[in-house]
Amino acid sequence: MIQITDLEKFYKTEEVQTIALNKLSFNVKEGEFVAIMGPSGCGKSTLLNILGLLDDPDGGSFMFNGTEVAGYNERKRSELRKHNIGFVFQSFNLIDELTVFENVELPLIYTGVKPVERKKQVEAVLEKMQIMHRRNHFPQQLSGGQQQRVAVARAVVNNPKLILADEPTGNLDSTNGNEVMDLLIDLNEAGTTIIMVTHSEHDAKYSHRIIRMLDGQKVTENILA
Amino acid sequence: MYSIINISGLAIGMAATMLIGLWIYDELNYNNHFKDKTTIAQIFQHESSNNIIETSPAIPRPLEFALRQDYNDNFKHIIMSSWEQPRYLNFGETTIYRTGNAMQEGAPEMLNLDIISGEKNGLKEMNSIMISESTAKTLFGSETALGKIIKVNNEDDLVVTAVYKDIPSNNSFSDMEYLIPWKFYVTTQPWLENAKDSWGNNSFQAFVQINENTTMEAISAKIKDVKKIGDPSEAEFNPEMFLFPMEDWYLRSDFENGVQSGGRIENVWLFGIIGLFVLLLACINFVNLSTARSEKRATEVGIRKSIGSQRSQLIFQFLSESFLIVLLSFVVALGIVLLFLNGFNNLASKAIEFPWSNIQFWLVSLLFVVITSVLAGSYPALYLSSFNPVAVLKGTFKSGRYSSLPRKVLVVAQFTVSAALIIGTLVVMNQIQFSKDRPVGYEKEGLIQIPVMSSEFLGKHEVMRTQFIASGGATSMTTLSGPTTEVWSNRSGYNWEGKPVGFQEDLAYTNVNYDFVETLGLKLIEGRDFSREFATDSNAVILNKTAVKYMNITNPIGKYIRDSDTEDPFTPLKIVGVIDDMIVQSPYSPVKQAMYVFEQYGNIAYYCLRLNPNKSTSDNLALIEGVFKKNFPNTPFDYQFVDEEYGAKFRSEERIASLARVFTALAIFISCLGLFGLASFVAEQRTKEIGVRKVLGASISQLWLLLSKDFITLVVIALLIASPIAYYVMGQWLQKFSYRTSVTWDVFAIACFGALIITLITVSFQAIKAAAANPVKSLRTE
């Protein structure tokens, strides 16, 4: 599903050029669950942004479902992103002014789904995430675990082929963290490809494969299952 | 950025308010030059005809004698005066045309004239003249004026007995450039002798200064019926004399059916309100932006508290910050005022100086600075200092769901004011345009009038006419006993066939000459112009359409108007023509019934000439001046364009309109500045949300709509509030014009559309900037 070859990304300040990704290459197959690990500043988040089509690489190739997307403009990336990719963030990134229902509904609005259909889909996913009873609450009224469940619901409501998770349990206690990991496993078992950036060895063990990075390069790759 | 918006917005608002304040101060201090302002009055009279009471300063001559004889102990001064009148003043090679009055001896003392040289009782001798400093400079240069002889109107030699300082512009009599003795006036104008016993001849003015132990009201009550007692036959007009205090001359000079009904004071109120609104808008901005910013400073408060800052210290810190910013804005505002005072004076026709030495001004300013600082500073001071440092530092602090509500209310208030000002200004402009588009009834372009008020012109008009036309500079000429754009005389006491019993007519009266209709380009409805072919035209009259209707004359041509109700000693006037109404007085009022009587007794004040349309104006004027100079070599050639004189009638309303335009533009600008600041604040506040939405697939246009929608909603609410208010207020304002436009829907459409467009442009800059930002960066702001 994903093939990256010699991927490069630089950050320039006035005087210094920092290499965030240095000729990075790997593949992810459809239905895989890949964990990416490494110390802070090793380029994990940059990689995730590029994989999520939020950012553009400066060099190399990025094939998504057999198509080269490295040179895509903002509009094309956005189009591809909203139909294929879901995001789960460490800090949940829910919109405070919207209710649980409205938060989950957002991706459907932006992909142009009709209101009746939206309601059906949102309710189904809230049900699945066991958060239906909180549908009219605002994010601030929920616990961290509940908030992340809403975030996951929002990520999957569109039935994306790929979920990108950036430290999904980073802000959660272990009980809530495990619950979120179980959710991701369920999704993966149902066929969704998942790429997860994490610091937690515990969470990484849920994946099929762990890619370890240092200074923008792949160091090791362990296959767990 | 915020500081620039904050300081400049507040400074502009303060500057605008200061300018308006100075203007109001100047208006309210009109006539302050006269130290006896509170005891000086002009005698006015109410007279009624056909149940309409008219109020006027014109009084009859015998009034003076009655006042002196029966009421003298009430007054310090009783001063008879002529109307302000232009005269030619000549000394050596220099001849100038200046306006002034003939007054009685006490005038210089009552008006507290500042004598530079000569004596205060300079009107004592018959052949004397007192002149203003600037008149003296023009006539005599650096030479001493005192004792010099001035030739007045090429007829009389008067000795300069005093030079007085020019009366400052914001005072009555500021146009009085010379004063001649009343007794000289009486002696040289024979008709004054006849007027001595005539209570019906209201051709004079009288000014008085009352004694300290009495009041204007008390005297008014005493002298009320003087005229009726003096001449019982005047009782049919129910004349009532009263004192009109100098304090009211300028600001409260309007009378409606005998009741004082305001005047310029309404403009003072209007601009006072506008000034307060502009200031309010600027303060709202300041408060809004300060409080919006303060929420971003929660962390700072947390840190300060955690290292031991007391709440009172924080309150003091926020208040003093706010005070410093307001003070800085005030200094900038002073700079703006100094920079624009000249331009403002031109716009408002004023000569306002900056009140450096006025303690009141500085006290009010200081008070204002303090109030604004407290208003803007107290919310952040009291609210922020109450934060729990732990919550703030842990990042779990969130401003409440409704914390933006006061800000929204203030934005609505701002745009309500701005929208109302837009609508108001549009209505004022519409009204002016509407009146300007009103047909005047004659061709005012290409028409000039030359004042010819001295006796050397007497009897020469036919010769002059022939020469003017022969020169090629003019195509026709007539004479007028008053200017084209004013009514100088109103008459009553006529009789005609079919006059209703008990009807008390009041007709505008002008003496005109041959070619009256042709020269002015009037529209004849019936009959003909005055013509040399009819010897009887020396006793002919042309009426306007309104007069025919007013006098209820059917088939007027050939009918007669007699000069008296009783046995007629004069030849009756034959109606030879009826013209369509021509606007002579206010372009906002209905045209008054008017009679244009063929010239009698040399009553000519102007030559009125139609310029040759086949030549340029400057060529025409050169030719006309040549003819004029050949005949009157010692008289300066002076002329007025009739269309300019007519245009002057709109000056007061146009001044209001241009002031209103400027302050409306300022109000909008200030509101937009605030909106711009708030929009950037909101965009910044919602950075994360925008990033999330973008990640989830929102397009730039969707995000732009999201960010702009809230502001648009606020502005729509403001428009809904402003429209009915503006509709009502402007409807009331229009009531004072009988010829008026209405408040139409397109005014609201323009105002609403304009306000929305301006809002969108202001907000969009920030919205699009935020929407176009890379979501990766937005999310990294966490």
Q: Can you give the pLDDT at residue A14?
A: 76
B218-229 pLDDT, tens digit per residue, is 999 999 999 999
B305-343 pLDDT, tens digit per residue, is 778 788 888 888 888 988 998 999 999 999 999 999 999
CA angle A188, A193, A196 (to 5 degrees): 90
- DSSP of B423-484: HHHHHHHHHHHHHHTS--SS--TTEEEEE--SGGGTT-HHHHHHHHHHHTSEEEEEEESS-T
Residues of chain B in contact with residue A52, where contact means CB-CB under 8 angstroms, are 695
What is the C-alpha to C-alpha distance for residues B281 and B336, in angstroms, rounded to an integer? 18
Residues of chain B in contact with residue A97, where contact means CB-CB under 8 angstroms, are 689
What is the C-alpha to C-alpha distance for residues B737 and B730, in angstroms, rounded to an integer? 12
Average pLDDT value for residue range B88-94: 89
Q: Which residue of A has its CA nearest to B779?
A: A93
The better pLDDT of the pair B295, B738 is held by B738
Strand, helix or coil at A119? helix
Q: Can you give the pLDDT at residue B401?
A: 58
Q: Can you give the pLDDT at residue B782?
A: 44
B624: closest CA among B611, B635, B642, B636? B611
B297: closest CA among B377, B225, B360? B377
pLDDT higher than threshold 80 for residue B436 = yes
Q: Choosing among A79, A106, A141, A143, which should be mutated to test the B contact, i.e. which has the most B CBs within 10 A?
A: A106
What is the C-alpha to C-alpha distance for residues A141 and A162, in angstroms, rounded to an integer? 29
> Among B688, B696, B779, whose Cβ lies nearest the Cβ of A110?
B696
ipTM above 0.90, yes or no: no
Q: Which residue of B has its CA nearest to A50?
A: B776
Q: Which amino acid, one-letter code, is at A31?
A: G
**Considering just the CA atoms, what is the radius of gyration of chain B in Å?**
34
Sort B386 into a burial class: Cβ within 10 Å, 0-12 / 13-18 / 19+: exposed
Strand, helix or coil at A207? coil
> Among A82, A91, A106, whose Cβ lies nearest the Cβ of B782?
A91
pLDDT higher than threshold 80 for residue B292 = no
The better pLDDT of the pair B408, B616 is held by B616
B61-85 pLDDT, tens digit per residue, is 999 999 999 999 999 999 999 999 8
Query: For chain B, what is the mean pLDDT?
Result: 88
**Residue B355 CB partners (closer than 8 Å, separation 6+):** B22, B25, B361
Phi, psi of B540 (to 5 degrees): -120, 160
Q: Which residue of A has its CA nearest to B693?
A: A106
Strand-pairing partners, residue B630, are none
Residues of chain A in contact with residue B709, where contact means CB-CB under 8 angstroms, are none
Give the torsion through C-alpha atoms of B688, B693, B698, B700, to 10 deg: -10
Helical spans, DSSP H, in A12-139: 44-51, 74-84, 100-110, 115-128
Q: Kind and range of the H or E element at A196?
A: strand A193-197
The better pLDDT of the pair A52, B49 is held by A52
> Using 50, 70 and 90 to split pLDDT, how confident is the model at B570?
low
Q: Half-sphere exposure of residue B558, counting CA atoms within 13 Å on the CB side?
A: 2
> Among B688, B695, B699, whose Cβ lies nearest the Cβ of A54?
B695
What is the C-alpha to C-alpha distance for residues B451 and B637, in angstroms, rounded to an integer? 9
pTM (whole model) above 0.80: no
The better pLDDT of the pair B144, B348 is held by B144
Average pLDDT value for residue range B226-251: 92
**Contact A140/B398, CB-based, under 8 Å?**
yes
> Using 50, 70 and 90 to split pLDDT, how confident is the model at B396?
low
The residue behind tokens 């003017």 is B468
Q: Answer whether B162's CB lies under 8 Å from B115's CB.
A: yes
B464-500 pLDDT, tens digit per residue, is 999 999 999 999 999 999 999 988 888 888 888 888 8
Q: Which residue of A has its CA nearest to B396?
A: A140
**Contact A78/B699, CB-based, under 8 Å?**
yes
Task: Locate B93 and state its tokens.
Answer: 């090679």
pLDDT higher than threshold 90 for residue B115 = yes
> Among A49, A81, A140, whose Cβ lies nearest the Cβ of B697?
A81
B455 touching chain A per CB within 8 A: no
Per-residue model confidence as pLDDT tens for chain A (225 residues): 899 999 999 888 777 888 888 899 999 999 999 999 999 888 888 898 899 888 888 999 999 988 998 888 888 888 888 889 998 888 888 888 889 999 999 999 988 899 999 999 999 999 988 889 999 999 988 988 899 889 989 988 988 999 999 888 888 888 888 888 998 999 999 999 999 999 999 999 999 999 999 988 998 988 886
A128-152 burial: b if 16+ Cβ within 10 Å, else e: bbebbebbeebbeebebbbbbbbbb
Pairing of strands B573-579, B524-527: antiparallel
The residue behind tokens 């914390």 is B403
What is the C-alpha to C-alpha distance for residues B591 and B579, in angstroms, rounded to an integer? 12
B779: closest CA among A93, A78, A16? A93
